[in-house]
A and B are shown apart, each in its own frame.
Chain A
Amino acid sequence: EPEVTQTPSHQVTQMGQEVILRCVPISNHLYFYWYRQILGQKVEFLVSFYNNEISEKSEIFDDQFSVERPDGSNFTLKIRSTKLEDSAMYFCASRPGTAGQPQHFGDGTRLSIL
């Protein structure tokens, strides 16, 4: 069964550094998402992406964040200047175009900011 893959599984970065989290969504899916889960808290929506542009973003997704689908298969989340509070598990998800179809999640990238 096709699956969403994320790399790396764990990223350790110094505060203030840029980090890029990578995702390969399921190939025939049309909608792409990033979520994050701070330790001990619930999973929170960051951004959705459709037709090569951001379709919705949350208040968390400020100017330090950006997303890209550079080559039609990869879907990346960039944090320009990381802060301690960016430490979290970041999940990528994708879903088909039909309304109501569930999102499929990757195993996540654990981001640790030192």
Chain B
Amino acid sequence: AQSVTQLGSHVSVSEGALVLLRCNYSSSVPPYLFWYVQYPNQGLQLLLKYTSAATLVKGINGFEAEFKKSETSFHLTKPSAHMSDAAEYFCAVSVNSGGSNYKLTFGKGTLLTVNP
């Protein structure tokens, strides 16, 4: 079965600083990987996805993530944090669990706070 580990339940950065949110996955077959963001009282919004094309994936709002198979990692970065980036971020893995279901398995999430 697949799993996701997000290191750091809470990350705090200053506005303008680099954002790095860590995600490691475990999967016995090549996975699809996703980052979702959740703002307070809202649903999960897709930031970016890795689907076996380019290993460096660009998403919305200036975020990007790099798939490293050797490290089983898919860390999320943004060069310069903005106050509006404050939210909870979830890494998720998806594999074909039979019948092309591709259910998502989520990490526990990382709460990002941005200090002025």
A86 adjacent to chain B (CB < 8 Å): no
Main secondary structure of the interface of A (DSSP, over half): strand
Of B14-22, B73-81, B102-110, the segment with at least 4 beta carbons within 8 Å of chain A is B102-110
Of A67-75, A76-84, A105-113, the segment with at least 4 beta carbons within 8 Å of chain B is A105-113
Question: Which residues B56-111 have CB closer than 8 A to chain A?
Answer: 90, 92, 94, 96-109
Residues of A within 8 A of B49 (CB): 100, 102
Say whether B102 contacts A105, CB under 8 Å: no
- Within 8 Å by CB of B98, from A4, A31, A33, A56, lies A56
Say whether B99 contacts A56, CB under 8 Å: yes
Q: How many B residues touch the partner, as a band? A: 20 to 34
Residues of B within 8 A of A93 (CB): 44, 104
Measured CB to CB, the nearest residue on chain B to A92 is B43
Residues of A within 8 A of B94 (CB): 100
Chain A 86-103 interface mask (CB, 8 Å, partner B; 1/0)? 000001010101011011
Measured CB to CB, the nearest residue on chain A to B50 is A100
B28 adjacent to chain A (CB < 8 Å): no
Residues of B within 8 A of A91 (CB): 43-44
Residues of A within 8 A of B92 (CB): 43
Residues of B within 8 A of A55 (CB): 98-99, 101
